[in-house]
Homo-oligomer: A and B are copies of this chain.
Amino acid sequence: MIAGKRIAILGAGLIGASWTSLFHHYGADVAVWDPQKGARDALAARMKKPLSHLDELNGKGTPRGPLTVTDDLTKALDGAVLVQENAPESVPIKHDLYRQVERLAPETAIVASSTSALTWSDLATAFADPSRFITAHPFNPPHLIPLVELYGKDTDPLNQADAIYRAVGRHPVRLKRDATGHIANRLASALWREAVNIVAEGIADVAAVDAALVDGPGLRWSVLGAHMAYHLGGGPDGMAGYLAHLGPSQERRWATLGSPSLTDDVCAALIQGVHQEAADRDILTLETARDQALIAALKARKESGPI
């Protein structure tokens, strides 16, 4: 379904390399554009691990597609059905790029931004016609984590993008309006605020907070959402029962959650705590362990997935 279709990836950094690996693995005709020679030269090396992860997860059934790496934007955009932009998180840089893309890309191409920190409204103003512009935010690492958060004004390009992302094994989710942090990073930020607070208040140390999350709610949220969890915790009446009996106690608990500041002392406790948790494992070792655990978790979903 995706095989042979031209996907243009703009920006060959870590996120770009992950998207490239994903579309390449599924047989798309991928053209990667990056103005920096260093990034273009590093791409093959950056794709090595993602490609081996995808082979491990899905097997090598689908032949990989053609791959072009170029500093020529016209060439990269030629015939593209989807343009996935991963430029630096700067409004002027992205706006400048979009003006060129709008001139050079096929009229039918969807232009999707991987932006994490910016919103559709921040970015769309660069387009004379923003109807085919969407935000499509992946979650790191994008070739393993299925989530892509979509927002745009027009339904048709969203539906087309949805089908393209599904064809490469992603699970797109739609926002009804744009919001900083989309959905997932808002949730992650809210949770981390309390995770920092627990350390700052001396309730538990960094490693204990992480272990409690991974062996408790994190594990549960890998199979059912936070709303659904309370639906199942509400007895025979589900969410209605939960809200009637325990809604007031949740509101009281919300009032007791912390609003920490990242003071020097708090930062020192976080840095020291995470080093203690990591023991003598360096970042690369930890990343490798994360990726292997994610691959095992994703394989398990083929047996019995989220509800």
Contacts and interface: CB of A to CB of B under 8 A. Distances in A.
A1 interface: no
A306 B149 contact: no
A257 B186 CA distance: 7
A23 to B, nearest CB: 19
Contacts of A273: 227
A63 interface: no
Contacts of A304: 289, 292-293, 295-296
Contacts of A236: 283
A145 interface: yes
A167 interface: no
A231 B274 contact: yes
B203 A177 contact: yes
A128 interface: no
A160 to B, nearest CB: 19
Contact of A183 (B204, B221, B239): B204
Interface in A175-232: 175-177, 179-195, 198-199, 201-206, 208-232
Tell me what chain A mostly uses at the interface: helix, strand, loop, or mixed.
helix
Contact of A187 (B194, B229, B247, B289): B194
Contacts of A233: 140
Contact of A213 (B187, B198, B267): B187
Contacts of A180: 253, 256
A225 to B, nearest CB: 2
Given A146-B215, A226-B195, A243-B270, A183 B202 contact: no
A99 interface: no
A49 interface: no
A193 B190 contact: yes
A117 to B, nearest CB: 7
23 contacts: A139-B217, A145-B220, A175-B208, A179-B203, A181-B253, A181-B256, A184-B212, A184-B213, A184-B217, A186-B194, A187-B212, A192-B250, A206-B227, A218-B220, A218-B223, A219-B297, A223-B290, A224-B293, A225-B277, A238-B283, A239-B271, A290-B307, A297-B297
Given A214-B223, A281-B307, 20 more contacts: A139-B217, A145-B219, A147-B215, A175-B203, A183-B209, A184-B216, A184-B217, A186-B257, A188-B226, A190-B190, A191-B191, A193-B257, A217-B221, A219-B222, A221-B221, A223-B293, A240-B267, A243-B262, A247-B267, A293-B305
